[in-house]
Amino acid sequence: MSNETSLDFASVQAILTTESITVHGAELHGVLTGLVCAGFTFESEDYIVMINDLFNNGEGLPRAVKSLVKSMFAKVWHDIIDDSYGFQLTLPDDDDSMVERGHALSVWVQGFNLGFGLQQKNKAVLSADVKEVLIDFAEIANLSDEMEEDEDTEQAYFEIAEYVRISALLCFTELGSPPESKSAEDTVH
């Protein structure tokens, strides 16, 4: 799982489907990102229990899924603290249908808001910018699944996905808890 290419959307979804875990790969990535962006600490491993409770009724994650979740969590951390803004959403490829990509973006932001809410319960401390992001994400989560396969829809999708990506980075900048030492960046690889 340490190979970055194994964490693309298709690979993530294949592992979840093979192991009969009924969660969308984009939603899982969104939940993990939401936790991290809301201040979840790198050193804590409580996220495994949260994911298990959310998506597997607390019955214990299969080894392949547990390994996948750990790899995804490490990759979120690695990418989100990367100075070159390498963080990307785990979404279907550009050659997948617009409906599939739109649905994945929708469940990604739902997952983000869920993970964010599990970690950041005190809304009073959120800045106006972060509150606006959460409201926008709630609206994006309700995007229609009836999307046209045309250039305008494609362009709108890319703009919304980029807004979501940058907004997640903004939330992390405001609320995230970077690992204690710079050497943690090496651990995250």
Q: pTM of the full predicted structure?
A: 0.90
In the prediction, which pLDDT does 149 show? 83
In the prediction, which pLDDT does 124 show? 66
Indicate the DSSP class of residue 122: -
What number of residues does the chain have? Answer: 189
d(CA 79, CA 73): 10
Considering the four listed CATH numbers 1.10.150.50, 1.20.120.740, 3.40.50.300, 1.10.599.10, the one that applies to the domain covering 4-188 is 1.20.120.740
Tell me what percent of the residues of the chain surpass a pLDDT of 70: 89
Residues 142-182: tens digit of each pLDDT: 877 677 888 998 999 999 999 999 999 999 999 988 887 54
d(CA 60, CA 66): 9
Three-state SS string over 167-187 comes to: HHHHHHHHHCCCCCCCCHHHH
Residue extents of the structural domains in the chain? 4-188
Residues 47-57: tens digit of each pLDDT: 999 999 999 88
